[in-house]
Amino acid sequence: MSTLITTTAQIGTIKDAGGNNTAMTINNSGNIAMPGTLTPTGGIVHGGYELIEAKMSTAHNQLASGSVIEFRNVFSSNYIAYKVIVGWYLHAGDSGENVELRFMTGTNTQQTASQYRYSINRYGDTDTNTVTKASGQTKGVAFTTIGGETNGANGGCHGEFNIINIGNTTLGGASTQRYYSNDATDVYAPIIYGSMIGFSQAGSEYERQDFFIRFNTAQNPYTNTGFCFLTPSSGEAKGTHIAVYGLRSA
């Protein structure tokens, strides 16, 4: 029998009618956690962006250890696309380096083949307006000649970028997996595109740099499991923070 609650209900866990599966939990701070997805009776999942992983550096070189900031195993068939928010990114002590990215396979094996293609449009606050293009590279570039810690308050960059074409997902109950060559060959060559804004050493100015990166090799879905930022030996500066979100579709 149902009971109508007309005052305050103090509930920590909500389960299904049989008492077997947890649908929602509420902690002591009033925060709600839902292990499943919200699905109406029509069967269409209403998801939105969900936080997958966030990293915050509280000391110089804490995340990179002199080489790389990794986001491992962040890709899955639950998501149709990914958004990366770069709240602030700075190289500790080093100025004039590029912001460089690579995809990863397995746990943290970097894709180092000379298959990266990228293009960067630079728009400065003085007179810079250039395009940088490259193919056959071993890494992609998202921002050129970033200011480092030696630039003080002028250093670092901010922005956001999207990652797509990692693998298939499910939409409306059907798989989106696709092929070419008469359905015989997989076609997933991952793409990153977005904008970064910061101080450019090359232009001696603040610049917005719009970019895209493609790892130009057709692969099986989810061959790539994550990605990473490459850093100089000094690593990232204290205060660097980055968050990865997935756009849920299944």
Write out pLDDT tens, residues 164-181. Answer: 999 999 888 898 888 777
Q: Residue 122 in contact with residue 131, Cβ under 8 Å? A: yes
Report d(CA 210, CA 250) in Å as an integer.
30
CB 81 within 8 A of CB 52: no
pLDDT in tens, 15-70: 888 888 888 888 877 777 767 655 544 444 455 899 999 999 999 999 999 899 99
The Cα–Cα gap between 141 and 192 comes to: 10
DSSP string spanning 175-199? E---EETTTTEE-B--EEEEEEEEE
- Backbone angles phi and psi of 67, in degrees to 5: -155, -45
Q: What angle do CA 188, 193, 197 make, to 5 degrees?
A: 160
- Range list of H helices, the chain: none
Instruction: Output the CA angle 178-183-188, nearest 5 degrees.
Output: 40
Q: Cα separation of 42 and 58, whole Å?
A: 46
User: In the chain, where are the structural domains located?
Assistant: 49-248
Rounded to whole angstroms, the Cα distance separating 21 from 185 reads 40
> What pTM does this model have?
0.82
Give 81-132 pLDDT, tens digit per residue.
Answer: 999 999 999 999 778 899 999 999 999 999 999 999 999 999 999 877 899 9
Provide φ and ψ at 164, rounded to 5°: -135, 170
pLDDT in tens, 127-163: 778 999 999 999 999 999 988 776 666 678 999 999 9
